């Protein structure tokens, strides 16, 4: 198989292979990231979105959003903010935890986020977005990236002007979730529009949305011409997918993943128990199981048994019973 993707270098950071973990609330915490790095093939991992307002008061030792082990490197921290006023203190906190990169969330379409002028709503307020990027650029020398959607409707001129503004203000890499604001995850992603974004910009462009297999990755690259790929739900369903794509499309010589679903699930629970306070464990196990259960034909049964569990121990016992039936 020919090597289709080359490492991305932004400032002092080498993203090799150019396969990035998408930020996902409730999912891309230390427990999942450790499993992903264990299989290999992750060029840059991510936290979930972090409130810039709350960040300065979070304890990196205790906060489930900030806990991180030495194996999870390099790691990008995603900021959610609506105002440049929150940037300086948030950046200081991210420098203190030794972030390798900082991402600005400009794609989250949730109403609760939009209400405060953050996430996707920044794409509708380019001047607010510009002032946030300008302030962030002034406050850090770390690689500064942004993650966007395609817009609220198909409007290439508007999208172009937003993307070039981000580049002009000093964004080092742009990730594009190839959907419009209100398009559901069930809809086919519009990878072809990423090709336009790529033509407008000189910074690396990373394609995101709908990559669940090596074949999807190959198709996405062929259609988008992107410099790198970002995996979200696919990483939670198949944490070894990065390794498979790295070997197939990036010329990586890492070991072929040897997968035992049961071992992956057990490791995930162990990491939760080792790292997180008890009250932070069960919700994260349920969220992960919602995706991971898709590896099984009758996975909805596993997911619903875990969903109705009252503790991590009960969920673990129910999962063990499910695995022993060999479903
Ligand atoms: C459970 C969940 C949580 C998410 N949280 C975030 C987030 O915190 N920040 C963000 O920019 N996008 C978030 N997203 C969007 C993903 O980063 C990604 O753009 C989307 O899932 C499409 O990629 P995929 O098809 O590979 O999953 C989230 C998606 C899911 C499913």
Q: If you take atom 2 of ligand 1, which residue's CA is the nearest one?
A: 24
34 lines ligand 1 (CB under 6 A): no
Q: If you take atom 26 of ligand 1, which residue's CA is the nearest one?
A: 232
What's the rounded mean pLDDT across residues 71-82? 98
Q: Which of 183, 131, 132 is nearest to 153 (CA)?
A: 183
pTM of the predicted protein model? 0.98
**What separation in Å is there between the alpha carbon of 121 and the centre of ligand 1?**
16
Q: If you take atom 29 of ligand 1, which residue's CA is the nearest one?
A: 24
pLDDT digits over 228-281, tens only?
Answer: 999 999 999 999 999 999 999 999 999 999 999 999 999 999 999 999 999 999
The correct answer on CATH 3.40.50.300 for the domain covering 8-249 is no
What's the rounded mean pLDDT across residues 82-99? 98
Going from N- to C-terminal start, the domains of the chain cover 8-249, 261-324
Q: Are 75 and 47 in contact (CB under 8 A)?
A: yes
Beta strand 101-106 with 228-231 is unpaired
pLDDT digits over 163-173, tens only?
Answer: 999 999 999 99
Q: Which of 53, 123, 115, 47 is nearest to 84 (CA)?
A: 53
Q: Which residues contact 32 (CB under 8 A, 6 or more apart)?
A: 235, 236, 239, 268, 288
What is the longest distance spanned by two Cα atoms in the chain? 57
* Mutation to probe ligand 1, out of 19, 20, 21, 23 (largest number of atoms < 8 A from CB): 23
**What separation in Å is there between the alpha carbon of 161 and the centre of ligand 1?**
24
177 lines ligand 1 (CB under 6 A): yes
Q: Is 131 strand, coil or helix?
A: helix
| Numbers of helices and strands, H then E, in the chain | 13, 10
pLDDT digits over 114-164, tens only?
Answer: 999 999 999 999 999 999 999 999 999 999 999 999 999 999 999 999 999
Closest ligand 1 atom to the C-alpha of 147?
11
Instruction: Calculate the average pLDDT of the chain.
Output: 97
**What separation in Å is there between the alpha carbon of 258 and the centre of ligand 1?**
26
């Amino acid at each position: 198989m020919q090597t289709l993707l080359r490492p991305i270098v932004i400032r002092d950071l080498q993203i090799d292979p150019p396969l990035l973990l998408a930020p996902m609330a409730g999912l891309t915490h230390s427990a999942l990231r450790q499993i992903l790095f264990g299989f290999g093939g992750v060029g840059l991992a991510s936290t979930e979105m972090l409130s810039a307002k709350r960040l300065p008061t979070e304890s990196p030792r205790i906060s489930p959003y900030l806990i991180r082990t030495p194996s999870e490197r390099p790691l990008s921290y995603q900021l959610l903010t609506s105002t440049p006023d929150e940037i300086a203190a948030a950046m200081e906190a991210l420098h203190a935890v030794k972030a390798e990169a900082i991402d600005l969330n400009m794609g989250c379409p949730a109403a609760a986020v939009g209400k405060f002028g953050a996430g996707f709503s920044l794409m509708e307020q380019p001047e607010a977005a510009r002032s946030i990027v300008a302030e962030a650029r002034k406050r850090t020398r770390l690689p500064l990236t942004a993650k966007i959607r395609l817009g609220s409707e198909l409007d290439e001129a508007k999208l172009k002007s937003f993307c070039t503004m981000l580049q002009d203000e000093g964004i080092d890499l742009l990730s594009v979730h190839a959907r419009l604001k209100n398009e559901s995850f069930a809809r086919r992603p519009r990878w072809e529009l990423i090709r336009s974004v790529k033509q407008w910009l000189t910074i690396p462009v990373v394609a995101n949305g709908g990559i669940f297999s090596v074949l999807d990755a190959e198709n996405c690259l062929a259609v988008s011409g992107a410099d790198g790929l970002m995996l979200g739900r696919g990483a939670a369903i198949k944490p070894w997918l990065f390794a498979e794509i790295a070997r197939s499309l990036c010329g990586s010589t890492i070991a072929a993943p040897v997968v035992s679903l049961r071992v992956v699930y057990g490791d995930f629970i162990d990491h939760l128990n080792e790292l997180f306070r008890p009250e932070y464990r069960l919700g994260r196990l349920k969220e992960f199981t919602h995706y991971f259960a898709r590896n099984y034909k009758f996975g909805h049964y596993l997911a619903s048994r875990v969903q109705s569990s009252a503790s991590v121990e009960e969920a673990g016992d129910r999962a063990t019973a499910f695995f022993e039936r060999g479903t």
